[in-house]
Structures are given as C-alpha cells and as structure tokens.
C-alpha cells in the first residue's frame, strides 16, 4: 500500500468514526457504526451512521445517501466502515449482503465484530464476492469508541462505570443528625452536566438501597438529551418500594444472588449493555473489591468536610488521566486493564490488503 493510500484510508476512517459518534446514547445495546463511500476519483459520494436501535445500519444509510447520478460508481468505489458489516438477519437484513450486491471494489474496516453471529463472516462474504478487504485501519480508535459493546461480547457482561464525587479530604457525603448518611452537594454545575452526558450513554443506573432511601434520586436525564436509563436498586432486604420511588416504571431490583451474577443477568435478560453505578460507598466498594468495573470517574471538589462517609478505595495500580472542570473541581478517570487485555486476544495484526 502506498503512503498516499494509507493517508486517505485514515482520513476517511476518521470521518466514519466521527459519524459513528452521532449514534451515542441512541443505539445501545448495538454498537455505534459509521460508514463513508468514496468514488474512484476520491470524492465522498455517500455517508451514514447507525442512528437508533432497530433502525437501518450505517452501511445501509450510506448506500441510500448516494445520489442517483453516482450510483453507477458503486462497483468501482471504496466503503469505509468502523466495524465489520453484519452477516446475519436481525432487526435488519445483513449489511455484508447489501455490500456484495452493490459490488464494491474495496472495503476498509476498522475492527472485526466479535459477536458470534458475525465474527469474520461478514468479511468472508465480501472477499468471496471479489471485494478487496483491508482490516485494522484505526483499530485502536474504533475499539475505544465501542468499548461498551465490545465488553458485552468479550466479557459476557455489561460495561460498568463507577462514578462518585468526593471532597478534598476524600469523603462523599455527610452524616445527618440521626447518624445516617446525608446528601452533600460537591459536584460543580459543569460536572453535573457531564455526569448526565455519561448517563445518556448507559442503559441502566445502579444504586444501593441506602442511597435510594436517603437521596430518593430520580436518576433521569435532565441536563443532556437522550433516553432515560433503567433504574436498578441493589436491595437484598427489599427495603425500597420501587413503584413509589420510580412511578414511571423501568426499574429493577437486584440482590438475591452474587453481584457478578446479578449484573450478568441484567445484560442477558434486559439487553443492558452499559451500566453506571452511582451508589453509596458500600456498593461502590463491593464492585471494586470484586474487580467488577471497567472505568471509574471521580469528580474532586476543593471542599473540606473533615468527617463523613469515606470515599471508596481505588487500587493504586490503575492508570488514570485528569480533566479540569470549572469552580475548582477536577475529574479523574481510571481504566481497568481487564477489557484491553481481553480485547487484545481477539484483534489481529493489521492486515492492509487480503
């Protein structure tokens, strides 16, 4: 492959990844996928992304966007897709079949789809139809984009983010006059907006029964567009009346079985692909102790409480990055390497042409 072709491939895949992000918060439990079609002279003649769960996939929308005057160019064109085209019938027909019918000369795919219903079959369909296939262009970026979906496929459970806000002296709340935990505003206004953005990318929010009783949270999207996630209360003793707390429904109770078993059940029975845990210190620490998380997002406030509910203890070995917010607050994100270790066993070396 020439240097100019490699630059072109990366440029077009970057655009496909940009399009894929438009599906954030709208396509779960499906992956975010973007597609770009270029003609032999290098023009972009078609673009598309997966817009909502159950709707046409990115490849379908890209092909549909091609003008009638350019459709004769499809057999000579290249399609760039951020994830391997599906090869099975689900809510929509297989995209790999559509691409073979269009007769694309070349397909550039960022990463393979580890879904057992696909797992290389889409690429094989394209190759058997005479399409030249390039796999691995911007694979790291595509994996990062769909880490939630890929976690479900590789680890057999939803992607899990732990979230809390802590004071400068590492407390997440106060104690009230009755000696029980009491809400304490520590997040900055911008921090709350970003928290709602992260909520929009999750299918469910998990809290403990103590948080449900003390805070009586709504757990809805109020500062970011999107669909409200399901509400899940870890409540083994059944202390919380879910119908009273969440009168609009879409709420579940867990706690009858081991934590990992319950989380896997949420994914299996309710198609929940991504979870945010916003519980109190006890629930958060239980996820940490079981190494049952993929990401931790901690907002740090300059406020000093001196006493209160201690923040969970984060393993010192976790890699982190810090982002500055307003009002003196900062956010630190920690990544659990378990996902990257698992996904690296699936992704192959970059194959430019095969």
Structure confidence by residue, pLDDT tens digits, 231-262: 999 999 999 999 999 998 899 999 989 999 99
Residue 303: the pLDDT is 94
Q: State the pLDDT at residue 229.
A: 93
Q: Does residue 17 fall inside a structural domain? A: yes
**Above 90 in pLDDT, residue 224?**
no
175 domain residue, yes or no: yes
Judged against a pLDDT cut of 90, whether residue 163 lies above it is answered with yes
- Predicted TM-score (pTM) of the model is 0.86
Q: Which residues lie below 8 Å from residue 144, measured CB to CB, with a gap of 6+?
A: none
User: Is the distance from CB of 314 to CB of 334 less than 8 angstroms?
Assistant: yes
Burial of 188 (0-12, 13-18, 19+ CB in 10 A): buried
Model confidence at 54, pLDDT cuts 50, 70, 90, reads confident
In contact, 283 and 206? CB cutoff 8 Å: yes
Same domain for 88 and 175, yes or no, is no
Provide the pLDDT for residue 284: 96
Domain boundary among 89, 110, 145: 145
Q: Which residue has the higher pLDDT, 180 or 242?
A: 242
- What is the mean predicted confidence (pLDDT) over 216-235? 90
Q: Give 286's contacts (C-beta < 8 A, 6+ positions apart).
A: 259
Return the pLDDT at 348: 43
Which tens digits make up the pLDDT trace of 258-286? 999 999 999 999 989 999 999 889 999 99
* 59 has catalytic annotation: yes
For the segment 315-326, the average pLDDT, to the nearest whole number, is 86
Residue 352 lies in a domain: no
* pLDDT averaged over every residue in the chain: 89
The CATH number linked to 204 is 3.40.430.10
**What separation in angstroms does the CA of 250 have from each of 18, 198, 207, 230, 235?**
31, 19, 14, 5, 16
Number of domains in the chain: 2
C-alpha separations of 266 from 98, 182, 232, 318 in Å: 33, 29, 9, 26
* Whole-angstrom distance, CA of residue 162 vs CA of residue 164: 7
Structure tokens given for 10 = 């990366």
Could you tell me if residue 325 is inside a domain?
A: yes
Best-predicted range by mean pLDDT (2-6, 22-26, 167-171): 167-171
Q: Would you say 65 and 51 are in contact if contact means Cβ atoms under 8 Å apart? A: no
298 pLDDT above the threshold of 90: yes
- Containing 298, the helix (H) or strand (E) segment is strand 295-300
Chain CA centroid to CA 241, Å? 30
User: Which of 47, 59, 112, 295 is the catalytic position?
Assistant: 59
Same domain for 183 and 38: no
The full length of the chain comes to 354
Give the structural domain span for 128. 3-145
Q: What CATH number has the domain bearing residue 13? A: 3.40.140.10
Percent of the chain with pLDDT over 70: 95
> HSE (CB half, 13 Å, CA atoms) of 75?
5
Burial group, residue 129, by CB count within 10 angstroms (0-12, 13-18, 19+): middle
């Amino acid at each position: 492959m020439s240097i100019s072709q490699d630059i072109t491939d990366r440029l077009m895949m970057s655009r496909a990844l940009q399009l894929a992000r438009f599906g954030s918060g709208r396509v779960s439990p499906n992956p975010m996928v973007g597609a770009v079609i270029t003609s032999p002279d290098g023009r972009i003649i078609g673009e598309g992304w997966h817009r909502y769960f159950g709707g046409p996939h990115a490849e379908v929308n890209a092909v549909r966007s091609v003008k009638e005057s350019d459709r004769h160019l499809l057999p000579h064109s290249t399609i760039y897709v951020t994830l391997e085209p599906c090869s099975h019938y689900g809510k929509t027909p297989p995209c790999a079949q559509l691409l073979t019918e269009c007769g694309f000369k070349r397909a550039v795919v960022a990463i393979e789809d580890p879904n057992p219903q696909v797992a290389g079959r889409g690429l094989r369909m394209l190759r058997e139809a005479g399409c030249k296939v390039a796999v691995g262009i911007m694979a790291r970026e595509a994996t990062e984009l769909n880490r939630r979906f890929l976690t479900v496929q590789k680890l057999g459970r939803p992607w899990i983010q732990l979230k809390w806000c802590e004071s400068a002296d590492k407390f997440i709340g106060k104690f009230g006059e009755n000696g029980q935990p009491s809400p304490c505003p520590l997040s900055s206004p911008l921090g709350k907006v970003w928290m709602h953005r992260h909520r929009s990318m999750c299918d469910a929010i998990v809290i403990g029964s103590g948080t449900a009783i003390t805070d009586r949270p709504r757990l809805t999207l109020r500062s970011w567009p999107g669909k409200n996630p399901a509400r899940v209360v870890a409540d083994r003793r059944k202390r919380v009346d879910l119908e009273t707390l969440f009168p609009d429904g879409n709420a579940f109770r867990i706690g009858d079985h081991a934590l990992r078993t319950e989380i896997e059940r949420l994914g299996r029975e309710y198609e929940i692909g991504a979870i945010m845990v916003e519980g109190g210190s006890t629930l958060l620490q239980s996820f940490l102790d079981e190494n049952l998380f993929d990401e931790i997002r901690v907002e740090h406030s300059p406020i000093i409480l001196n006493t209160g509910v201690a923040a969970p203890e984060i393993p010192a070995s976790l890699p982190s990055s810090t982002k500055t917010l307003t009002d003196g607050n900062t956010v630190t994100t920690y990544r659990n390497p378990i996902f990257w270790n698992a996904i690296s066993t699936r992704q192959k070396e970059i194959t430019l042409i095969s």
